[in-house]
Amino acid sequence: MEKFEKLTGIAAPLPLVNIDTDMIIPKQFLKTIKRSGLGVNLFDEMRYDRQGNEIPDFVLNKPQYREAEILVAGDNFGCGSSREHAPWALKDFGIKCVISTSFADIFYNNCFKNGILPIVLPQEAVDALMKDAEKGSNARMIVDLEAQTVTSSDGDVFTFEVDSFKKHCLLNGLDDIGLTMEKAGAIDTFESQASQARPWV
């Protein structure tokens, strides 16, 4: 998993509340178990019309937000079913950080496991960052995980909280497999000892 340390990028404003996982990646795209290729269908029903043409007014279809890496969203982001495809689609599109006042628990935890930083901030802070994001591609935010800060394009700094273990995992690019591989030496030693103690197994 890619390390997350400091991100300087374009932030896209999505001032909608209760964005559920079916809105993030509709159910018809859940047949794959690959993490790649889902970005094109991110927010599919909001991005495209029934003929598959882009809807120009949707934020991620606008030229200034096509390269967005940060999403500033409304309350209760990622609610609904617990599909891991939702963070997969966000990451494949290029979104590395989502800022909101609250997240659904399962989605929140899935983000960390897939290299995305979900940031919870008070409503006043999200409103300020939403307004900053509306400036377009010239307004770049800075997300510093080590310092636990979000800095707006105007230099306003907002501090966020994050679990120390989840922070460690993101800073070091460790998903569940990576965490297991950190213990490879101990695992090898255990297996060797177990094999000697129980050769019939």
Q: Which fold has domain 6-197?
A: Aconitase; domain 4 (3.20.19)
Higher pLDDT, 185 or 88: 88
How far apart, in whole angstroms, are the C-alpha atoms of residue 152 and residue 103?
Answer: 21
- Give the pLDDT mean for 107-115: 96
Question: In the chain, what are the domain boundaries?
Answer: 6-197
* pLDDT of res. 31: 78
pLDDT digits (tens, 9 = 90+) for 167-196: 999 999 987 666 555 556 666 667 667 677
* pLDDT of res. 146: 97
Average of per-residue pLDDT values in the chain? 91
* pLDDT of res. 172: 93
* pLDDT of res. 188: 65
Higher pLDDT, 19 or 193: 19
Amino acid at 189: T
Q: HSE on the CB side for 188, CA within 13 Å?
A: 5
* pLDDT of res. 24: 97
| 85 pLDDT above the threshold of 70 | yes
CA quadruple 58, 63, 65, 67: dihedral sign: positive
| 72 pLDDT above the threshold of 80 | yes
| 1 pLDDT above the threshold of 80 | yes
* pLDDT of res. 63: 96
**pTM above the 0.85 mark?**
yes
How far apart, in whole angstroms, are the C-alpha atoms of residue 148 and residue 159?
Answer: 6
